[in-house]
Homo-oligomer: A and B are copies of this chain.
């Protein structure tokens, strides 16, 4: 079954739900109401019910959602039901944080290879990953890695995106604070670790 009709905004929220569900599962919970899940992750029950309505009926009135079943279904929709290998380019502060971050495994990602241009970094190991020189980026083709993470300085971002595309990458998570241009068949998500801070003052008391 395909889910072409799920709106992008719902897709954007599915990882938030998935993470919440996995944390609840970790705490031994079996089921959760839309109200409790909403409070836990900080959204509205109606939003959750509306989003879940796009892909079937997982709630039982008075009992709530079966957490394990729902998490599995969300993973399937997001194509996270198989381990996805990813390549990191740029092992500065942010890149090192990416390699050390436990959060990628939660969603089934394995940051399996890392590149940098700095000869002082090449050959070093972070979390069992040996940093390779970026000139070896074509290895991604042979290893069939399709996901790339860009964590290079802004001025190197476009060049890095071009190289990743040439190496067969079809999905890019871009941490550089700029936009990159790629062929239509490649999906880029640019994220900005400052952006979420930008909507905090709106919600804070003024005095």
- The answer to the question of A132 belonging to the interface, with a C-beta cut-off of 8 Å to chain B, is no
A193 and B107 contact, Cβ closer than 8 Å, known pairs A102-B177, A199-B78 = no
- The answer to the question of A166 belonging to the interface, with a C-beta cut-off of 8 Å to chain B, is no
A204 and B103 contact, Cβ closer than 8 Å, known pairs A193-B97, A196-B189 = no
- The answer to the question of A89 belonging to the interface, with a C-beta cut-off of 8 Å to chain B, is no
How many A residues touch the partner, as a band? 35 or more
Count of this chain's copies in the oligomeric assembly: 2
- The answer to the question of A69 belonging to the interface, with a C-beta cut-off of 8 Å to chain B, is no
Which residue in chain B gives the minimum CB-CB distance to A153?
Answer: B102
A15 and B177 contact, Cβ closer than 8 Å, known pairs A97-B97, A170-B204 = no
- The answer to the question of A1 belonging to the interface, with a C-beta cut-off of 8 Å to chain B, is no
A23-64 CB contact bits vs B (8 Å, 1 = yes)? 100000000000000001110000000000000000000000
**What B residues does A14 contact at CB under 8 A?**
198-199
Q: Are B42 and A188 closer than 8 Å at their CB atoms?
A: yes
Q: Are A192 and B19 closer than 8 Å at their CB atoms?
A: yes
Q: Are A171 and B78 closer than 8 Å at their CB atoms?
A: no
Complex: how many Å from CA A201 to CA B173?
Answer: 11
* Complex interface: stretch among A79-87, A116-124, A133-141: A79-87
10 A-B pairs closest in CB distance = A103-B194, A15-B198, A93-B97, A79-B201, A94-B97, A171-B200, A187-B203, A107-B198, A93-B96, A104-B194
**A interface residues with partner B (beta carbon < 8 Å):** 9, 11-12, 14-16, 18-20, 23, 40-42, 77-80, 84, 86, 92-94, 96-98, 100-104, 106-107, 109, 146-147, 149, 154, 170-173, 175, 177-179, 185, 187-206
Q: Can you report 14 residue pairs joining A to B where beta carbons are below 8 Å apart?
A: A14-B199, A78-B199, A79-B204, A80-B198, A93-B100, A94-B97, A101-B177, A101-B194, A102-B177, A147-B201, A149-B197, A171-B204, A185-B205, A187-B204
